[in-house]
Amino acid sequence: MAQESEVASIPAADFGFAQGHEEEAEREYANYSYVREIFNRFMDNKGAFVSLVMIVLIIVLAIVAPMLSPYKFDEVNSTRSNLPPRVPGLEQVGLFDGTKDGVNVYAEKGISEEYHYFGTDSLGRDIWVRVWYGTRISLLISLIAVVIDIFIGVVYGLISGYFGGRVDIVMQRITEILSSIPQLVIVTILLVALGPGLGNIVIALAITGWIDMSRIVRAQMLKLKNMEFVLAARTLGASWREIIFKEVMPNCLAQIIVTFMFSIPNAIFFEAFLAFVGLGVPAPISSLGTMINDGYKSAMVYPYMVVGPVVVLGLLMLGFNLFADGLRDAIEPNQS
Amino acid sequence: MKSPIASGNASAASIEAQAPRDHVHERPVIKISDLTISFKTANGIVHAVRGVNMDLYRGQTVAIVGESGSGKSVSAKQIMGIHSHNEIYEGGSIEFTYKDDDGREKTVDLTKIDDKEMAALKGKHVAMVFQDPLTSLDPTMTIEGQLSESLTEHMGLSAEALHARCVELLDLVGITDVEARLKSYPHQLSGGMRQRVVIAIALSCDPDLLICDEPTTALDVTIQARILQLIIDLQKKLGTSVIFITHNLGVVAKVADYVNVMYAGKVVEAGTLKDIFYDPRHPYTWGLLSSMPSLSTDRSERLFTIPGNPPNMLNDIQGDAFAPRNPYALEIDYKMEPPAFQVNEHHWAATWLLDSRAPKVEMPEQLRNRIAGMKLESAKLREGDGNGD
Amino acid sequence: MGRYIAKRLAVAALTVFIILFVLFMLLNFMPGSPFNNEEKMTPEQIATLKAAYGLDKPVIERFFIYVGNMLRGDFGVSYNIQNNMPIATMVGSRLKVTLGLGLEAGILGAIVGNLLGILAALKRHTPVDTVATVIAVLGVSLPNFVFALLLSYFFGYRLKLFPLTFNPADPIRSSVLPVIALSMFTLASMERYTRSELVSIMDSDYMMLAESKGLPRRKLIMRHALRNALISLITVLAPLLVNLMSGSIVIEKIFSIPGLGTLYITAIQSNDYNVVLATSFIYSVMFVIAMLLVDLAYGLIDPRVRLAGQKG
């Protein structure tokens, strides 16, 4: 705040009209954008940032680990069955040193040059390789299924919301009935009917998972379709395709991405659930779900057989959930 | 913080002397000094209120007018002790003077008291009417339940007295079929009706101060005028002091005795209704008045808009916040914040144009014509009133 | 209100019928035949068996026969699991076990989750809030079997406090771990939802108005915040019920609990057509009934629904 003496001592020249300050006014809002704001809020969220690192790490390992390991995921070798984990470096500290009940099993079997980071299963397969191979399969199944169901959901929701009236009523009745059948029942029945298999799991997940997405997109459509910018496009003679895909859809993108992120862990869980029910991917392919299903019975005696897949599955689901949470909070900051 | 009044100008005086009425022996109901409030956001600190000064005397209505984001609502919520979790109190005081149960005058600084003391004042001595009546009432509670809450809290009335008071209050705000309405839930009432209920709730304990935060903005145009008239009538009838927040100068002209014009978290001009409407000095006030649509506006005349956008409150503002939008900006506006220059004992404005060294700038021709028109109109109205008596 | 209930009931009945139809048709495409040792039988023998079980009639006719039988409480017989055992008998006791497990887990999760959520919302931005949030994130993100395995490893295998698998002689101690494992998702979702709902209610206009009346914090929370939060909680019960259902199947398998879930899994693995159909249908009906109850409860509690049509 100006002080008396300060005010008195202002040079007279300063009381001329101001000139050349236009660009200062421009600068005010220059570094202020919607995407940047979302990005800032996302990065401010510790959980979201950690989850991003976690997801990237898991994906990298899923791709790289099986390639770098000397073992194959389906390489059966009865001489090295049920080996406990052994990790170079850590074994010096007494952790993961390949001992069970004080006996070094590796030395006992005469394979002390081998290292199985997560140990081996009852058929002598390397669990480390199997876990990352299984992660690939689990991720693949859920990603493809989610991409398909997002596509169906978005198109269904956009059409239902845009055309409204009788079309909307019929389409809404259909989703209402479909959503009143529990997803797990429909998925299992479909798989029972189609027979287990990687492709069939994807199909079963994709054709049951799109309902939430269609609801969200429809609600967004109903909200947006009477907004000025859409009305303006319509007066300019835009066709319904242009309005739906060029005007409305870009404005649903945030919600679509968030729902996409939430759908992935859900699909991962369903894959594991199917494995538990006995409808998982058939051997020799393995997924995280089938590995847990195979390992849980002996989990008390050989906990390491199930710890690996459970931890990776847990971290994946946790990571995607936290990531989606962070993204949602960054897009709609007033929710938390 | 120094006093905002600079004596560099010949006519410097105290703001307290701004009212025409003799206020020497009277304490203002509300005296806000140098109030500074910021908010922490993901993008940085938002300086929402940057040293606000304001007084309100008993039985009068002071309007705070400004664009959205100018800090008017935040200032008012400070008086009510309504804080959000990311708010930072940076300084200043709000002195509130009220009559306690024994009729003695008491003065407290609302920024210094704790939640318990604040709760004892809220609803009883200070009350507030909010912007959106559709969301202001609890959807799961009957009107009577919500109306009697502050009465039971502060007055301790018996069941019959309580019911009688509720009936009286709904009567007061012009609601008919009172008994049925008391048993209704909010969703069964129209927007205008709900705002009447909100006003009744605010007035239930006969508060010393009523804060109205854009009470008509969310309503239909036809209802707006009625609610406004209701507030004016009730103010006259009950003698409550009112702080009226709005962005609409037309509303200000109807309700206010005093006007504070806010811009970018500061009061930039303050004075009586007449001072602000007939003798505005700040270029921002000129802009506001010029952009006010009125029935008497010549149809060929284009509606004036203030160029540019309000400043980004995330940035530190150098000099006068209004300078980039001010067609009469001086070099000094970009360097130093203008002090408050006293125009007369109840009118001041914070603009360097009032400094004796500044070039003489007159208000725009168009606005002068407009003001002349307004004066003529109100003279006609007064004449009409005189004939009617 | 009466009309509202009648309408909801009618919709539910129709839904159940459609579900049964869809399930019946889908299972009709199930590959293979329900009979074991098919390759050792002559075509005549297969035809006789088919006729005996009514499998030689057209699908639609079989559907209506099935519906008719079911209305009399006859779900058909098991082909493979226990030869010619009536399914109604197989399901009866198992349904009770599954419902009991689900109910206990649901109630435990709802109560604990709610309390945690309220605590977190009231102590926003404190360590209490952080702990509650971590529990919620873990509970929502991690599948039930992770908790089941962790609990049975530490409390069952290491500490030997509870049995690892279901022991019919000691049903109470045997159900502690399964109930806790199953309740985790409900607990976490409840915590999350209660917290976010309370937080947004605390920032709502009507809370601001209630606050401006000078009510003490306790009354503000009890009278306005909690009441509104609990009403809206009813709307999130649906996903929780779905999770309880899928979760109970997995949990029953891990702890070898003789419930509907283990029967379901056995039926799927042994291609027992009738049992798969019956159990799927029972799961669906439980779901539809639960949804119906949620809807009706919501209608009873929320004045906006209860008084709809009485606008004045």
Q: Which CATH number fits domain A51-82+120-335: 3.50.50.60, 1.10.10.10, 3.90.1150.10, 1.10.3720.10?
A: 1.10.3720.10
- State residue C43's pLDDT score: 72
- State residue A152's pLDDT score: 93
Which of A217-221, B82-86, C9-13 shows the lowest per-residue confidence on average (mean pLDDT)?
B82-86
Question: C239, C91, C119, C254: which is closest to C179 by C-alpha?
Answer: C254
- State residue B183's pLDDT score: 92
Same domain for C267 and C149: yes
Same domain for B131 and B202: yes
C-alpha to C-alpha distance for A295 and A305, rounded to whole angstroms: 6
User: C104-141 burial string, b = 16+ CB within 10 Å, else e?
Assistant: bbbebbbebbbebbbbbbbeeeeeebeebbebbbbbbb
- State residue C118's pLDDT score: 92
Those residues with Cβ within 8 angstroms of residue C218's Cβ, 6 or more apart along the chain or in another chain: none
- CATH code where residue B155 lies: 3.40.50.300
Question: Is residue B7 assigned to a domain?
Answer: no
Answer whether B128's CB lies under 8 Å from B202's CB: yes
- To the nearest whole number, what is the mean pLDDT of chain C? 83
Q: What are the tokens at B288? A: 């506001």
Q: What subunits touch chain A, counting only 3 or more CB pairs under 8 A? A: B, C
Same domain for B381 and B257: no
Answer whether A127's CB lies under 8 Å from A121's CB: yes
pLDDT average, residue stretch C119-123: 90
Same domain for B282 and B177: no
- State residue A336's pLDDT score: 42
- State residue B300's pLDDT score: 57
The domain ranges of chain A are 51-82+120-335
Question: Is residue C81 assigned to a domain?
Answer: no
pLDDT average, residue stretch A280-306: 82
Question: B270, B280, B281, B234: which is closest to B55 by C-alpha?
Answer: B270
Answer whether C81's CB lies under 8 Å from C270's CB: yes
- State residue B267's pLDDT score: 92
Q: At what angle do helices C237-254 and C144-151 cross, to 10 degrees?
A: 40
pLDDT average, residue stretch C241-246: 81
- Containing H/E element for B268? strand B266-272
- State residue B9's pLDDT score: 36
C-alpha to C-alpha distance for B35 and A78, rounded to whole angstroms: 80
Same domain for C252 and C175: yes
Whether B130 sits inside 8 A of C208 (CB atoms) is: yes
CA distance C105 to chain A (A): 19
CA angle (B44, B90, B107) in 5-degree steps: 150
Same domain for C100 and C65: no
Residue A117, φ and ψ in degrees, nearest 5: -55, -40
Question: Is residue B18 assigned to a domain?
Answer: yes
Residue A318 with chain C: CB contacts under 8 Å: 137-138, 141-142
Which of A52-61, A214-223, A230-239 shows the lowest per-residue confidence on average (mean pLDDT)?
A230-239
Same domain for B349 and B246: no
Question: B274, B258, B212, B281: which is closest to B23 by C-alpha?
Answer: B258
C-alpha to C-alpha distance for B130 and B138, rounded to whole angstroms: 13
B178: exposed, middle or buried (C-beta count within 10 Å: 0-12, 13-18, 19+)?
A: middle
Those residues with Cβ within 8 angstroms of residue B48's Cβ, 6 or more apart along the chain or in another chain: B37, B38, B39, B69, B71, B74, B265, B313
Where does a domain end: B223, B250, B270?
A: B270
Whether C250 sits inside 8 A of A276 (CB atoms) is: yes
Same domain for C142 and C238: yes
Same domain for C211 and C288: yes
pLDDT average, residue stretch A88-110: 70
pLDDT in tens, C66-110: 888 888 877 777 776 666 778 888 888 888 889 989 999 999 999
Answer whether C157's CB lies under 8 Å from A300's CB: yes
Same domain for C216 and C116: yes
- CATH code where residue C170 lies: 1.10.3720.10
Where does a domain end: C71, C99, C131?
A: C71
pLDDT average, residue stretch A254-269: 87
Answer whether A288's CB lies under 8 Å from C127's CB: no
- State residue B169's pLDDT score: 93
Same domain for B318 and B369: yes
Q: Which residue has the tokens 């690939």?
A: A136
Same domain for B356 and B241: no
Question: Is residue B299 assigned to a domain?
Answer: yes
C-alpha to C-alpha distance for B239 and B275, rounded to whole angstroms: 23
Q: State yes or no: pLDDT of C299 exceeds 80.
A: no
Residue A29 with chain B: CB contacts under 8 Å: 309, 312
Give me the interface pTM, i.e. the ipTM: 0.80
Q: State yes or no: pLDDT of A83 exceeds 70.
A: yes
Answer whether A248's CB lies under 8 Å from A162's CB: yes
CA distance A323 to chain B (A): 18
Answer whether A14's CB lies under 8 Å from B330's CB: yes
Of B82, B85, B187, the CB nearest to C211: B82
**Domains held by chain B: number:** 2
pLDDT in tens, A133-155: 889 999 999 999 999 989 999 99
Question: Is residue B218 assigned to a domain?
Answer: yes
C-alpha to C-alpha distance for A19 and A12, rounded to whole angstroms: 16
User: B212-241 burial string, b = 16+ CB within 10 Å, else e?
Assistant: bbbbbebbeeebbebbbebbeebbeeeebb
Range of the structural domain that residue C97 is part of: 91-302
pLDDT average, residue stretch A166-186: 85
Same domain for C114 and C235: yes
**Domains held by chain C: number:** 2
Question: Is residue B2 assigned to a domain?
Answer: no
Same domain for C66 and C7: yes
- Containing H/E element for B45? strand B44-56
C-alpha to C-alpha distance for A128 and A107, rounded to whole angstroms: 20
- State residue B5's pLDDT score: 42
Question: Is residue B53 assigned to a domain?
Answer: yes
- State residue A53's pLDDT score: 92
Whether C287 sits inside 8 A of A321 (CB atoms) is: no
Question: Is residue B375 assigned to a domain?
Answer: yes
Other Cβ atoms within 10 Å of C236 Cβ, number: 15
- Omega cis (within 30) before A284: yes
Answer whether B61's CB lies under 8 Å from B273's CB: no
Q: What are B342's strand-pairing partners?
A: B348
Question: B291, B296, B294: which is closest to B306 by C-alpha?
Answer: B291
For chain B, say whether A20 makes contact (Cβ under 8 Å).
Answer: no
Same domain for B230 and B203: yes
Residues of chain B with pLDDT under 70: 1-25, 294-303, 384-389
Residues in chain B: 389
Chain C from 74 to 113: CB within 8 A of any A CB = none
Question: Is residue C114 assigned to a domain?
Answer: yes
C189: exposed, middle or buried (C-beta count within 10 Å: 0-12, 13-18, 19+)?
A: buried
The DSSP 8-state label assigned to residue B316 in this structure reads P
Same domain for B253 and B266: yes
- To the nearest whole number, what is the mean pLDDT of chain A? 81
Same domain for B201 and B328: no
Which of C45-49, C199-203, C215-219 shows the lowest per-residue confidence on average (mean pLDDT)?
C45-49
Q: Which residue has the tokens 């702080």?
A: B243
- State residue B62's pLDDT score: 94
pLDDT average, residue stretch A75-79: 74
Same domain for B307 and B171: no
- State residue B17's pLDDT score: 35
C239 or C221, higher pLDDT = C221
Same domain for B260 and B131: yes
C-alpha to C-alpha distance for C110 and B284, rounded to whole angstroms: 57
Range of the structural domain that residue B281 is part of: 274-386
- Mutate which of A3, A4, A36, A41 to test chain B, going by most B C-beta atoms within 10 A? A4
CA distance B110 to chain C (A): 14
